[in-house]
Structures are given as structure tokens and as C-alpha cells.
Amino acid sequence: MSDDHANGFLKHDRWPIGYRDPRERVHDYREIYKPTWEEKQLQEQGERCMDCGVPTCMAGCPIGNIIPEWNDLVYRGNWRAALERLHATNNFPEFTGYTCPAPCEPACVLAYNNNPVTIKSIERAIVDKGWQEGWIMPQPPKTRSGHKVAIVGSGPAGLAAAQQLNRVGHEVTVYERDDAIGGLMTYGIPDFKFAKYQVARRVDQLKQEGILFQTNADVGVNIPFETLRGDFDAVCLAIGALKQRDVPLPGRELNGIMFAMEYLIQENRRQAQRPVENGTEAKGKNVIVLGGGDTGADCIATAHRQGARQVIQISINPQKPLERPEDNPWPELPWTYEKTYAQEEGGEEVFNVNTVAFVDDNDDGHVDYLSAERAEWTYDNNRKRIEKKIIEPDFKIPADLVLIAIGFAGAEADPFKETGIEIRKDGTIKVDANMMTDLPGVFAAGDANRGQSIVVWAIGEGRDVARCIDTYLMGASQLPRSLRTQNPPIGL
């Protein structure tokens, strides 16, 4: 990057690709983001990149995207080269450009005392333009290695591993237990946050590159795990971390209480016009969402669109501060409060509320309200709750539908427990430094290996495990080493 635009941040304010008006978008399932953007706008945003000596934005990115280079290329109008640079470290930049919380942005040098570069918007714009211009094409390998690899799970980690391994010539088959490919990109993230045509066109690209897919293939259940070990030279478990954390409180057995992911999957199936058995909708109901993360936000937004009477999001913790705490300096991820896209659409957000019980007031087997207490907590140095002080001991919150969105407790690894694969205490699959389990030739990647995380981490894990598998099969690998393995992202 030359210095002819090193002062672009002084000439242009931060101007990301915006969102549609919440009052409009809450009534439909189209993507919440503005569908169009101006090239000039994004070129100016690329010019804001400072050409800083130490690109801390890259240290904030779990896959080590070479952000300053594609910022500069966009500024110069060389979009195709920017796409090539982006694809060099990220197989599916639209997955991240639309859904990633962008830890690179608070790590930007500008974020020290200014508004950071709109990295996420530029990333999205690059890949949007790549698809519009027809630059994203299948890249099948010229030769085959003679080795066969099975990937179990078709989320971002599994798909990234599959594409990397296929491109160096291995024959790859992806096994997915659901009836559609994509993992949580298809059945977890709502359509209005990430339209499913974006998954479909990537899957089509992978099929044209030679990757095989099998749906309704639940390895360890209707397909014996040992069959895969016998038929393939290597197996990768990219099964996610979908064992949902429960709330073991009185009344948990009542109707009207369900896991958030179950609720989101049902709506994704409806939008795809696929069958939904015993489905639940929020129309006309008082909805409670337990949990303050991304999954909780997606539940709120879905309930709005289904016509909920009211939606209340409950967090057991206090609201985060509006400014960085002293023990949370730049360039760490900021421990600060930011209203979610879902709360911008409506609903109520309450903090320091501890749920005590779910109550059936009518003896009909259905939840009617939450019994709760308002509490203040004492925290340790890791921000873990250690002691509470009751401020308001007993109050009720009306509830017709309660959605539990308090996170996940590891991989759904029961089918693999008797195989010799070790499961850690946190529910993840134990691997060595080469991402291999205790079984030779069996690897694990993504959330199944590192626990619940974000899409960009999953892609990085998929790329890393592909390199490990390729090395295992060939003795060495030409696949790129992830920068994140050399420089762990800041604050993650």
C-alpha cells in the first residue's frame, strides 16, 4: 500500500453499508441489510485505512484476513484483485461479511480514538460484486491424489475443510444429518439475517468442483462410524457444538418452553417451505427470551415477525457499560453494551433478572408466567458470577412462550463416545496439535473442537484441519497455514 491515501481517515467519516428501516423490515423475512451500496462509498471507506505499521485489524481477525491489502485494492477500484486477496484466506467471505460480529473492527488502529474502518462492509461489498460480475467460479482440481476423505457436518467448518481438501486433489464426501446442506448457516441463522440463496450458490460451486454430498446421513446413527473409517483414508468430525444448555428449574417440563435453536430451525424450515412437525409460533403470545447473545437476538426478531404480543429479553447479568472498562483496553474486544438489530425492531430488554421457576397458573400443563428475582452479582476477575444480593425477591413476568438461549454445552458427541474418541469435560472433542483425535486418521474441527463460537472461527478451523489432513495423507501440504495459529486473535 502506498502513502497517497494514508490520510483518508481525515477526509472521510465512517459510513458502513446500512440496515433497512426497522419499522419496515420487521414485517418481512427479507435481509435486514440495505441490498444496494455505492462503489464510491466503499472506495472512500477503503481510503480510510491508515497504512499503519502494525495492522492490528489482522490480529483481531480469527483467520488472519489480509485486510489492509483488500482495503487498498477497493480504494483503487481493483475489485477483482480484492476478491482474490479475500478468497486467499476466507473460503466464504459472504458468510462472514453478513454474519460476523467483526472483531477486526474494534482492533483497527483507528478505533483507539476514532471510528474504525468499515472492514465488514468492504468485505461484503467485495464478495457481492464478485457474484454480480460472475468472477466466483468453480475451481476443480486438475489431478486427483487417490485419497478419500469424509467430512461429517456441513457447516462453515466442514464446507471450508471440504473445499480446501478437494482443491488439492482428494476425493471428498460431506455427510449431513439434516435434509439440507449448510449447518447453522441454513437452519440456525434466520433468513432475514442471512438469505439462504447465499448458501445454495456456494454448495452448487462445491458440487461443480467435485465434492459429493449426502443428506439425511446421521453418522453414528443410520450410518455406522466404522463404515466411514473403512471406506475413507481420513475422517473429519465437524459436527458443531449444538448440545444446548438447559435451565433446570421448577416447571421446566411445562409446555410452551423450548430451546431457542429448535424454535429458529422451525421458522427456517417454514421459510424454505419444508415440513415442520408440531411447530410453535409466537403470534399473539407473550414471549420471553432467556439469554442475551446472538441466538437470543435472532429469537426476538423472529418472534416480532411472527406477530408476538410482546417480547421480553432477560439477562441474568447487568447491562454492559457504554464505555470501555479500565481493564478492557484497546485493541481487545470491547466489553461494552450495544443494542442488537432485534432490539432496534422492538421489545424490552431487562438485566439483573434471575429466573426462579416456570409457573402454570391454570393447571393446564402450559407455562403462564416466570417467577423471578432481581439481583446484583459479585464477579471474579474473569467476570464469572460468584455471589448475589437480592434486590427484589419475587415478581412475575407473563409468559406464553419461553425460549432458552443461554448457549451450548459442547458437541452432540454421544454417537462417538464408545469409539475411542475422547470427549473433554466441556463437551468438545479432544484433539492433538495436529487436530487429530485419539483415533488415527480421525480429526475434529470447528465448534466440535473449540466449543461454541462464531462463523469466522469455524472457517479458520476448517482451513486448518484441511492442512492437517493433507499432511497426514501426503506427508506435507501446500495448503496455507492459518495466520490465526501463529497470532491468536486479540481478545477472543
For the cut 80, the answer to whether the pLDDT of residue 299 exceeds it is yes
pLDDT reported for residue 5: 61
pLDDT reported for residue 134: 98
User: Do 244 and 209 touch, CB atoms closer than 8 A?
Assistant: no
Q: Which residue has the cell 480504494?
A: 75
Sheet holding 353-359, edge to edge: 353-359, 369-379, 385-398
For the cut 70, the answer to whether the pLDDT of residue 325 exceeds it is yes
Using CB atoms within 10 Å of the CB of residue 354, give its burial: 0 to 12 exposed, 13 to 18 middle, 19+ buried.
middle
Quick one: pLDDT band at residue 4, thresholds 50, 70, 90? low
Q: Which domains does the chain have, with CATH numbers?
A: 8-133 (1.10.1060.10), 148-242+409-486 (3.50.50.60), 257-404 (3.50.50.60)
Q: Quick: pLDDT tens for 28-80.
A: 999 999 988 999 999 999 999 987 888 999 989 989 899 999 999 999 999 99
pLDDT (average), residues 86-103: 95
For the cut 70, the answer to whether the pLDDT of residue 10 exceeds it is yes
For the cut 80, the answer to whether the pLDDT of residue 484 exceeds it is no
For the cut 70, the answer to whether the pLDDT of residue 6 exceeds it is no
Q: Which residue has the cell 439477562?
A: 315
pLDDT reported for residue 7: 83
Q: What percent of the chain stands above pLDDT 90?
A: 85
Q: Quick: pLDDT tens for 247-287.
A: 999 999 999 999 999 999 999 999 999 999 889 999 999 99
pLDDT reported for residue 490: 46
User: Do 481 and 463 touch, CB atoms closer than 8 A?
Assistant: no
230: left (phi over 0), alpha (psi -120 to 50) or beta: alpha
pLDDT (average), residues 298-319: 96
| Reported pTM | 0.94
For the cut 90, the answer to whether the pLDDT of residue 383 exceeds it is no
pLDDT reported for residue 3: 54
Quick one: pLDDT band at residue 476, thresholds 50, 70, 90? very high
Beta strand 234-237 pairing with 369-379: unpaired
pLDDT reported for residue 487: 43
pLDDT reported for residue 34: 92
pLDDT reported for residue 154: 98
Q: Quick: pLDDT tens for 12-30.
A: 999 999 999 999 999 999 9
For the cut 90, the answer to whether the pLDDT of residue 135 exceeds it is yes
pLDDT reported for residue 489: 46
Cis peptide before 331, with omega less than 30 degrees from 0?
yes
User: Do 8 and 48 touch, CB atoms closer than 8 A?
Assistant: yes
pLDDT reported for residue 309: 97
pLDDT reported for residue 92: 98
For the cut 80, the answer to whether the pLDDT of residue 482 exceeds it is no
pLDDT reported for residue 424: 93
pLDDT (average), residues 131-152: 98
Q: Quick: pLDDT tens for 416-445.
A: 988 999 999 999 999 999 999 999 999 999
